Structure 1
Amino acid sequence: MTVNRIFLSPPHMSGRELEYIKKVFESNYIAPLGEYVNKFEESVKKYTGAKYALALSSGTAAMHLALKVLQISDEDEVFASSLNFIGSVAPVKYERAALTFVDSDYKSWNMDPDLLRREFVKRVASSQKLPKAVILTHLYGQCAEIDTIKEICDYYNVYLIEDAAESLGAFYKGRHSGTFGDFGILSFNGNKILTTSGGGMLISNNKAFIDKARYYSTQAKEDKPYYEHTELGYNYRMSNVLAAIGVAQMEVLEERVRKKREIFDIYREELNESAEFMPELPNSRGNRWLTTTLFDTAPEKIIKALEIEDIEARPLWKPMHMQPVFKNSKALGGEISEKLFEKGVCLPSGTALECEDVLKIAKIVKKVID
């Protein structure tokens, strides 16, 4: 590895992060909570259109709190997208609930709404119990068919949690991802389109839900002048220092989305005859967090060829129903997500890349697949 290595999706600072961090240090509010936590939450609410937001230590923490607020327990079942990152679904097991994974469709590479509907219809017809919640992931920053899935969940009175960890800056029919369901989950991990080095946010249009999540996120402390606890909580709040980074990052979010989409367009123009690219649903705008492609050539050959040139690329997420840790969980379908994993490659998509860098990467890929 060299200093000139091209990473998959490295952090890209706006230039104002240190200015805001300095203000945090001057205020001495470097611990959780403070002016910049409030500012960060306000900026996310304004951008996404969510009524309420709670800045947290990670996207996984946000998912855990959503499940906790909805009282998911060992007596419940949760459906979730199979083509996914484990942080989206591990919290279900923290609460000891059962998991059933739902396959993707080729139309969006996200959760197949027809498969979801058929299973709900089947269960009702046979008097089987429905899941208490559905976790829908907007994969690689591309919106799922969220209106249809919300309609299904609403009809059957099932909670909907949107994993928008990868899709900050993505909109479906004019609404931001994560604002359709009961909760939306955002992540600001180091490789995301907006990073605070670590961190996440829980968004919702339900004040009572966010108030309860806030309570749990600060060790479930009761509103008394001394420390009293009637429930177990968690230390999940974001620090004022990290929030200051987030405020600076939010100022350039639209620029980052435009650059991600430009990078995708270059790859598509150069590789269109040899690759299939992740689709974008009509009336939606993904953030193209990562350019994801399908090749007939084995992904490992492409990844190895790029690695020789000190360029990072990765396979698509290995579906959750294929993960050994979830070997006892159920799955609806699975063939499509398995095929996507078998043929898929994530290409470098960092917003600091120059056009020449993207063309260089495409050229290397062409040599392997031609």
Structure 2
Amino acid sequence: MNSKIWLSSPHMGGGEQKYVNEAFDANWVAPLGPNVDGFEKDLETFLNEDVKVAALSAGTAALHLALIECDVKHGDEVICQSMTFSASANPIAYCGATPVFIDSEKDTWNMCPVALKEAIEDRASKGKKPKAIIVVHLYGMPAKMTEILEIADKYDIPVIEDAAEALGSTYNGKTCGTFGRFGILSFNGNKIITTSGGGALVCHNQEDKDKAVFLSTQARDNAPHYQHSHIGYNYRMSNIVAGIGRGQMEVLKDRVEARRKMHDFYVELFKNIDGVEVFSEPSEEYFSNHWLSAIVVDEKVTGKTREGLRLALLEDNIESRPLWKPMHLQPVFADAPYYGKKVAEELFDNGLCLPSGSNLSDNDRERIEKRIKDFFS
């Protein structure tokens, strides 16, 4: 059997080992340390805004702390994009709150501003004004942040940007993760850069960052003994993991360029195949890192299904994956409110993510192209 072509595998740059070795040489293997400080500074510089970054154990941890800092408590409601990975919604449940899910719009596949406004007004009329809005930049595609922020500002609801998939993406020239009160980044093994596991909380002032660091290190009070006046969490990033991140930051721009070239490869591949749409920026305002390249297959036109394509690729040991199953269709959130139509559902039924890694070879692309052309012919 041919070697496996992964959907999105880790891609080391070569400089990571230097920072990891420095941590070992200094015996600084615990949370905190020079690599953590350096990684946070590297991210702040890259994001190119006046932000403060707290490096944490996971993007999910960052989202949980953002909700806590937005004062989300048991019994509250939080608006969340439905078409996303479960990690966007799970921290709402950690807080004892209820998610209110919002449909996608067709341009960016992200939160629909029309459904968002409808949801806020309806929940408020029931005496349940949402405490926060979690918007996701799906597969690296920026959401319609101008409209979403206008609505959030009108109703005075803080926005939390789940930019876990969107490091390196911009909207109107501004980096994703810097629009909301908080931004969330992820460095999981399949992300555009990785620290093996890890994430970060993007804040707009030192006070918010300090609170996140305090809560993420077990909320220990300033005392010679162990004293705690708040519930804390073990969410801080380790110095070794941050060392991997520092090496990865050296190649981040190259990784974005390589992912965007994979998107261009699929645009060229599908340009003469009727009934297949490659997920692309709707206008020049949007710059996607194309963390994952995705397509929608119109069965009525092609006579083929996305599941048929997935299985055909799998026969050649090529990994692909259906789009995220919307959260309002997940058994665990079956009772949660939902606003919108069926855009997310239709995308899930007909959409497929294709191999998108920055380390794919010409031979890998040849195999992918041959299998796809054979399938549609």
Query: So what's the TM-score if we normalise by structure 2?
Result: 0.94
Deviation at 1:19, TM superposition (A): 1.5
Residue pairs, 1:60-139, within 5 angstroms: 60-123=60-123, 126=125, 128-139=127-138
Which one of 358, 365, 372 corresponds to residue 358 of structure 1?
365
Q: 1:294 aligns with which of 293, 296, 299?
A: 296
Structure 2 CA distance, aligned partners of 1:15 and 1:111? Answer: 37
Alignment partner, residue 245 of structure 2:
246
Residue type at the aligned position of 2:150: E
CA positional deviation for 1:50: 4.7
Distance in 2 between the 1:264 and 1:352 partners? 14
Amino acid at match of 1:115: A
- Once the two structures are superposed, residues 82-140 of structure 1 have per-residue CA deviations (whole angstroms, 9 ceiling, x without a partner) of 0000011101001110111100011111101121123334555x464321100000000
- Which residue of the partner structure matches residue 336 of structure 1? 343
The one-letter amino acid of 1:164's match is A
Which structure 1 residue ranges, 4+ long, deviate > 6 Å from structure 2?
none
Q: What's the offset of the Cα at 1:273?
A: 3.5
What secondary structure sits across from 1:109 in the alignment?
coil
Which residue pairs with 1:312 in the alignment?
A: 319
Matches within 5 A, 1:43-54: 43-48=42-47, 49-54=49-54
> Deviation per CA, 1:177-225, whole angstroms, max 9, x where unpaired?
1101010000000000010000000001132222111111000001222
The question of whether the paired residues in 1 share the 8 Å contact of 2:80 and 2:99 is answered with: yes
CA contact (8 A) 1:266 1:359 kept: no
CA distance, structure 2, for counterparts of residue 305 and residue 78 of structure 1: 40
Amino acid of the structure 1 residue aligned with 2:359: A
CA RMSD of aligned residues (A): 1.4
Which position in structure 1 is the counterpart of 2:195? Answer: 196
Q: 2: distance between equivalents of 1:6 and 1:193?
A: 17
Q: Structure 2 CA distance, aligned partners of 1:292 and 1:36? A: 35
Q: 1:246 and 1:233 mapped to 2: Cα distance?
A: 25
Q: Hey, what's the Cα distance between the residues in 2 that align with 1:132 and 1:172?
A: 25
1:293 is matched by which residue type in structure 2?
Answer: I
Residues 326 and 345 of structure 2 are in contact (CA less than 8 Å); yes or no, is this contact kept in structure 1? yes
Q: Answer whether contact 2:77 2:98 (CA < 8 A) is retained.
A: yes
User: Does the alignment pair 1:184 with 2:186?
Assistant: no
Partner Cα separation in structure 2 for residue 20 and residue 74 of structure 1: 41
1:158 corresponds in structure 2 to 157
Deviates more, 1:229-238 or 1:273-282: 273-282
Deviations 1:117-166 (A, max 9, x none): 23334555x46432110000000011001121111111110010000000
Q: Distance in 2 between matches of 1:229 and 1:309?
A: 55
Structure 2: how far apart are the matches of 1:47 and 1:330?
37
2:118 touches 2:339 (CA, 8 Å); kept in 1? no
The aligned amino acid for 2:206 is K
Give the number of aligned pairs. 368
Question: Given residue 97 of structure 2, which amino acid in structure 1 is its aligned partner?
Answer: A
- Matched to 1:219, the amino acid is Q
Tell me if structure 1 keeps the 8 A contact 2:266–2:278. Answer: no
Alignment match, 1:325: 332
SS at 1:276's partner residue?
strand
TM superposition shift of 1:360: 2.5
5+ unaligned residues in a row in structure 2: which ranges?
A: 299-303
Amino acid at match of 1:233: G
Work out the CA distance in 1 between the residues paired with 2:334 and 2:123.
Answer: 22
Deviation at 1:231, TM superposition (A): 1.1
Measure how far apart 1:347 and its partner are: 0.3
Aligned partners of 1:273 and 1:133: how far apart in 2? 44
Contact 1:263–1:355 (CA under 8 A) maintained in structure 2? no
Partner Cα distance (1:111, 1:230) in 2? 37
The answer for the alignment partner of 1:57 in structure 2 is 57
Question: What is the alpha-carbon distance in structure 2 between the residues aligned to residue 52 and residue 19 of structure 1?
Answer: 25
SS state at 2:294 partner: strand
Mapped to 1, the partners of 2:201 and 2:359 lie a distance apart of 28
Consecutive unaligned residues in structure 1, runs of 5 or more? none
**Identical counterparts, % of pairs:** 45
Alignment of 1:27-42 (within 5 A): 27-42=26-41
Q: 1:185 is paired with a residue of what secondary structure? A: strand
